[in-house]
Amino acid sequence: MPEDFKVTPWEVTGDIDYDLLQEKFGTTPIDDALKERLSRYGELHPMIRRGVFYSHRDMVPLLDMYDKGERFVLYTGRGPSGNTHLGHLMPWIFNKWVQDTFGVDMLFQMTDDEKFLFKDLTLGDTSSMAYENALDFIALGFDPAKTRIILNTKNIDKLYPMALRISKKVTFSTAKAVFGFDNSTNIGSIFYTTLQSVPAFIPSEEAGKQVPVLIPCGIDQDPHFRVTRDVAPGLGYPKPSLMYCKMFPALNGGDKMSSSDENATIYTTDTPKAVKKKVGRAFTGGCVSVEEQREKGGNPEVCAVFKYNYYLFEHDDEALNEMATKCRNGEILCGECKMCLTEKINVFLEGHQDRREKAKDVVAGMTYDGFEW
């Protein structure tokens, strides 16, 4: 039977079966034993407790090294193709928790080159979006003394020698097999995965010894990092470890928030009014009439409003369970839940927008190798 979903670094469609995806990619579940181990370093993040970050590669050796005093470096990134939305913030919020919990340095790569190659955008578009997206990243509170932002087109002199060494180890047939490229693919796209691999090796290159790296990100990025991990030993670098999250859902009930449906997407720069309107139109698990819902109850499992609480906005497990129970019993109706979520998002965005403004003062100081925006 053909699968009715697709997950690649450039396209996510359909109803994603995350267990099947994990199996196909060959990643490992974040199971109770790993959760227990992670809880020794600090209170578990709700995204781990709830299985939003649900899959990994090589977390055990990374933690073993950490316990022996070997610090890892965090690495994640963003392809700047448009305004930042809540779906982008989700893995970054998790990265911030890792930085705080383990006290580690962080690299954030902005791939303006990638979005130029894969989308109908100019380099001017993608580099100005990079600046805007960087403000959102910084607004989450990453430690400016421990965090560096790479912008590919600006830092290419530093990235290129390593990208070359990587590219010599990746054949066209690997790129075709991993990414589904064909003869009509532009040749920049074929080379691109080398650039996404480079930051995984920068810490080792800079230290002149093997430094472990942890990359928490969406599971859609795994194809790149399979390539990265394959070439690592041949270049004398350790394979990076990974923690993968599910895609942040869309407000219309779809599996991934995407800028292609603006009404189902909440941007970090949205006004309270826009948020209210978008949440007001969200897909829920409610019934067609109030009477029916009071009698039969709703279904939080399919409800976008509930999912937003689950993924991001309700950290308290008890409060979340109560929400689900009351919904199933018909005690709360969709209108109330929508109002409540609108309020939570707007409170968050008010603070975020404020911090985003302040980020303009520090963004210049957080660039890798001191490039100018």
Site residues, ligand TRP (CB under 6 A): 9, 76-79, 109, 111, 114, 196, 215, 217, 221
Compare residues 163 and 323 and give the one whose CB is closer to ligand TRP: 163
Please give the Cα distance from 111 to 340 (Å, whole number).
Answer: 36
Strands (E), the chain: 5-8, 11-14, 28-29, 53-57, 73-78, 106-110, 147-151, 213-218, 241-245
Residue placing its CB nearer to ligand TRP in the complex, 231 or 275: 231
228 or 346: whose CB is closer to ligand TRP?
A: 228
Place of tokens 């109770």: 32
3-class SS shares of the chain: helix, strand, coil, % to 5: 55, 10, 30
Closest separation in Å from C-beta 191 to ligand TRP: 14
DSSP for residue 248: P
Distance CA 173, CA 189 (A): 14
DSSP 166-197: HHTT--HHHHHHHH---TTS-HHHHHHHHHHH
Nearer to ligand TRP by Cβ, of 232 and 332: the residue is 232
Q: How far is the CB of 203 from ligand TRP (least distance, A)?
A: 14
Measured from the CB atom, the residue of 82 and 297 that comes closer to ligand TRP is: 82
Between 47 and 320, name the residue whose CB sits nearer to ligand TRP.
47
**C-beta separation of 258 from 250 below 8 A:** yes
Smallest distance, ligand TRP to C-beta of residue 257, A: 13
Minimum gap (Å) between residue 134 Cβ and ligand TRP = 13
Spatial CA neighbour of 239 closest among 95, 59, 64:
59
Looking at the Cβ atoms of 9 and 330, the one nearer to ligand TRP is: 9
Minimum gap (Å) between residue 371 Cβ and ligand TRP: 17
348 Cα distance to chain centroid = 18
Q: Please give the DSSP secondary-structure letter assigned to residue 256.
A: S
Least separation in angstroms between CB 86 and ligand TRP: 15
Please state the closest distance from residue 155 (CB atom) to ligand TRP, in A: 13
Give Cα 192 distance to the centre of its chain.
19
**Nearest position to ligand TRP, beta carbon:** 77
